[in-house]
Amino acid sequence: MRLPRQPELSQPGAAAPLPGNGRRSAARSVDTTTLDLLRSWQQEDDTSDPAQLKAAEKELAEFKKAVNDSRASSGEPSLYS
């Protein structure tokens, strides 16, 4: 079985490169960039304040309940226990 050829960028209708600022190093992969972004979000949200932790836990519980309620109303099983 032969695999289809990948389109070349010069062909009409071929996928174009993703837009960006062009300053990203070619050596950096999307995975590394994504991990860096996730790490920065984790640092922004990092806290040991009990009030903030309790609020975050409440927000998560409300989210899980809303997802489960939505799924239940459409006859789907719950995702969160």
pLDDT attached to residue 41:
94
User: Could you report the per-residue pLDDT of 42-55, keeping only the tens digit for each?
Assistant: 999 899 999 999 99
- Which residue segment(s) compose the domain that 63 sits in? 49-74
pLDDT attached to residue 31:
83
Counted domains in the chain:
1
Q: What is the pTM of this model?
A: 0.51
Query: What's the chain's average pLDDT?
Result: 80
Give a yes or no: residue 53 inside a domain: yes
Q: What radius of gyration do the chain's Cα atoms show?
A: 22
pLDDT attached to residue 20:
56
C-alpha 77/C-alpha 74 separation (Å) is 9
Give a yes or no: residue 21 inside a domain: no
